[in-house]
Copies of this chain bind each other. A is one copy, B any other.
Amino acid sequence: MNDPKLRRVFVVVVVLSALSIPNSLLHAQTSATLPLMPLPAHVSPGEGQLLVNSSFSVALDGTTDPRIKSAEEQFLDKLSRETGTPFLPSAQAGPPALTIRTAGPGDAVQRLGEDESYHLEVSSSHALLTAPNALGVLHGLQTFLQLVHITPQGFAAPAVTIDDQPRFPWRGLMIDSGRHFMPIPVIERNLDGMESVKLNVFHWHLSDDQGFRVESKEFPRLQEKGSNGQYYTQEQIRDVIEYARDRGIRVVPEFDMPCHTSSWMPGYPELSSGPGPHQIATRWGVLDEAMDPTRESNYEFLDRFIGEMAALFPDEYFHIGGDECNGKEWEANSRIQAFLREHGLKDNAALQSYFTRRVQKIVAAHHKIMMGWDEVLQPDTPRDVVIQSWRGQTALAAAARQGNRGILSNGYYIDLNQPASEHYLVDPMSGDAASLSPEEKARILGGEATMWSEFVTPENVDSRIWPRTAAIAERFWSPQDIRDVDSMYARLAVVSQKLEFDGLTHQSFMHVMLQRMSGESDPEALAVLASVVQPPLGYEREDLRDYDTSSPLNHLVDAVPPESNAAREFNQLAKLIAAGNASAQQIQQARGCLTQWRDNDAKLQPTLKQSELTAELISVSRTLSQVSSIGLSALDAIENHRTLSAELVQSNLATLKAAEKPDAVLRDMIAPAVEMLEEAAGKS
């Protein structure tokens, strides 16, 4: 039992637990530390707490929007799951613990800018939630759920008074069902997650080069030939819309055009600008396939198609995409080139602009407001068109100055594996947008996190969306000056756990994937390695290996979350140590971590070769060990006030820089922190 190898795994468990469990939050009673996300606009703490035990019940008062009854059922269902206590509507006796008072009905179709405010008072004897309509009720109930936590007296919510309303009216999450199909249960559990953090727009990217995902009755070959059988029926779509509406969420469909349209063409090749053969795309990236904007029959097609979809999706907004046309098919088609000359269209952008104007009229004729990505904005674009900006605040501000409303997505691309802190600090009103006039500022409606799906599957998509999207949701909901990253991470850990209670699998999926790739029931050492590596940032993954739609996403890179909590917390320790501000206990924690990571390799190596999926980790594990050894030597030097020689430091830094390069499509997240230690150890 004194084998040093056996001693070390637990060390990191202790260290990381100590860092990552915000115990103070879980047992908190003050407003500053209430584990709420997004933080409400106004919070006043009270005295005592309201017990949530078997006798807890709800009373409804005021208007009778059917969503209120459904909200009560969902609330009790979530409360049951989060407490393990069975609550049934109407099954409890006695005076109600929570009264919900709704002033009036909401709109028949949830509308952008509807009042979403609520007022929540919790005392030790009773809770009262009041709201002008069902939307406020839905949001207030989510706040109440976040207040509930276990105490020595049982589950309880602290006494508090909250007045709350959102900063932005458009708070969205886009899910790309085109590239990887996401089954209905995946969509529904993510709508549950959206509701938890008060997001109110589900932007559903429903067609792309790799798949057309909606049943069209007007043009059935769209799904028959464009989806490999993976599409949503109209009945399923209607169910999702109702499911979303019951959670205070609008559903905005996107059918991307005129490009990203390869999957339309196998069924309807006449739409295409190119000669074919037309196939569902199996490659990622910007492809050549594009609709032919010059053919009148295509506008007739789109009129019928958009008419059908406008009836299916009740929301006032209709997204036509419009991004990333490379124009190659247009340039190669002499008939299209002749059209450009005839109509005085000077380039591809002008041709797309022509297309967009035509489509915008069709969308408007079907009583919808068009949305599109940056590319659809032209000087003559009608003022009601809403721009979704992947380009950033400068483009967004330009649209606002021109009179168009817009939402920001640049900075919220959750497929790019950035840390929560980076997304969190991106503000739609910063940069160029900060200098807009009040009237122009009002045109910035909010933003959307975008879950592009090249590298996600139904199995791991939750882990790419959550918990980081909760931090983005706070940016869209809470006052602009709420920007404390440490507070955000502490609350994010609590919210993340609640999201798992509610059915998301962003934490639990990993164990299953590690089991599968190792063939072992308890792949402990693999989990240690997994805890300190991350997927590549941005679009680098596509440069590292060749991927297409049939690539199995079952490697370690697919199983690890986009952000390593262990590495982030170790990095904080290393910063303190390098700055000479660490306590003895913190240095000991860092040593514990590094020792475990160094010694993990010896435990892991014998098993890696047994599986094709883990064999690629042989050098990844070895590198982690090497990096950790360097870190331990640096720690020794720092503790003993020795200065490492410049030559050694230089050589070690070279090793560490090399370790930062992706291996097996994974980034070693410890190397940068060890570089800090090494540099500190080299200074006298």
Q: Is A1 an interface residue (CB 8 A)?
A: yes
B522 touches A13 (CB 8 A): yes
Q: How far is the CB of A84 from chain B (nearest CB, A)?
A: 2
Contacting residue for A81 out of B6, B27, B459, B522, CB 8 A: B459
B11 touches A611 (CB 8 A): no
* A560–B501 alpha-carbon span in the complex (Å): 17
Q: How far is the CB of A87 from chain B (nearest CB, A)?
A: 9
Against B, the Cβ 8 Å flags (1 = close, 0 = not) of A469-506 are: 00000000000000000000000011011001100000
B588 touches A1 (CB 8 A): yes
- Which residues of chain B come closer than 8 Å to A13, judged between CB atoms? 9, 522, 524
* A610–B457 alpha-carbon span in the complex (Å): 39
- Which residues of chain B come closer than 8 Å to A153, judged between CB atoms? 612
Q: How far is the CB of A137 from chain B (nearest CB, A)?
A: 20
Against B, the Cβ 8 Å flags (1 = close, 0 = not) of A211-228 are: 000000000000000001
Question: Which of A383-391, A442-450, A512-520 lies at the interface?
Answer: A512-520
Given known A-B contacts A1-B591, A519-B149, A86 and B552 have beta carbons under 8 A apart? yes
Q: Is A568 an interface residue (CB 8 A)?
A: no
Against B, the Cβ 8 Å flags (1 = close, 0 = not) of A605-628 are: 000011111010000000000000
B497 touches A611 (CB 8 A): no
Query: Which residues of chain A from 17 to 54 have a CB within 8 Å of any chain B CB?
Result: 17, 20-21, 23, 26-27, 54
* A260–B332 alpha-carbon span in the complex (Å): 77
Contacting residue for A11 out of B1, B88, B90, B519, CB 8 A: B1
- Which residues of chain B come closer than 8 Å to A538, judged between CB atoms? none
Q: Can you name the residue of chain B whose Cβ is closest to the Cβ of A280?
A: B91
* A496–B520 alpha-carbon span in the complex (Å): 12
Q: How far is the CB of A424 from chain B (nearest CB, A)?
A: 20
Given known A-B contacts A83-B552, A611-B152, A612-B151, A520 and B21 have beta carbons under 8 A apart? yes
A84 touches B612 (CB 8 A): no
Q: Is A229 an interface residue (CB 8 A)?
A: yes
Q: Is A595 an interface residue (CB 8 A)?
A: yes
Against B, the Cβ 8 Å flags (1 = close, 0 = not) of A122-164 are: 0000000000000000000000000001111111000000000
* A154–B90 alpha-carbon span in the complex (Å): 54
- Which residues of chain B come closer than 8 Å to A81, judged between CB atoms? 459
A21 touches B521 (CB 8 A): yes
Q: How far is the CB of A463 from chain B (nearest CB, A)?
A: 14
B512 touches A150 (CB 8 A): no
Q: Is A430 an interface residue (CB 8 A)?
A: no
A1 touches B592 (CB 8 A): yes
* A86–B500 alpha-carbon span in the complex (Å): 25
Q: Is A7 an interface residue (CB 8 A)?
A: yes
A554 touches B1 (CB 8 A): no
B1 touches A7 (CB 8 A): yes
A84 touches B26 (CB 8 A): no
Q: Is A558 an interface residue (CB 8 A)?
A: yes
Q: Is A10 an interface residue (CB 8 A)?
A: yes
Q: Is A230 an interface residue (CB 8 A)?
A: yes
- Which residues of chain B come closer than 8 Å to A592, judged between CB atoms? 1, 6
Q: Can you name the residue of chain B whose Cβ is closest to the Cβ of A615?
A: B152
Given known A-B contacts A84-B552, A552-B54, A26 and B516 have beta carbons under 8 A apart? no
A516 touches B150 (CB 8 A): yes
B517 touches A150 (CB 8 A): yes
Given known A-B contacts A9-B10, A81-B459, A552-B54, A23 and B520 have beta carbons under 8 A apart? yes
A611 touches B500 (CB 8 A): no
B501 touches A611 (CB 8 A): no
Q: Can you name the residue of chain B whose Cβ is closest to the Cβ of A153?
A: B612
Q: Is A287 an interface residue (CB 8 A)?
A: no
Residue among A494, A519, A615 with the highest chain B CB neighbour number at 10 A: A519
A89 touches B497 (CB 8 A): no
B1 touches A228 (CB 8 A): no
Given known A-B contacts A27-B519, A228-B91, A612 and B150 have beta carbons under 8 A apart? yes
- Supplied contacts A10-B10, A90-B228, A508-B511, 9 more A-B pairs, CB within 8 Å: A1-B8, A20-B521, A81-B459, A84-B552, A86-B549, A150-B613, A155-B612, A496-B521, A497-B521
* A interface list, Cβ under 8 A from B: 1, 6-11, 13-14, 16-17, 20-21, 23, 26-27, 54, 81-86, 88-91, 149-155, 185, 228-230, 457, 459, 493-494, 496-497, 500-501, 508, 511-513, 515-522, 524, 549-554, 558, 588, 591-592, 595, 609-613, 615
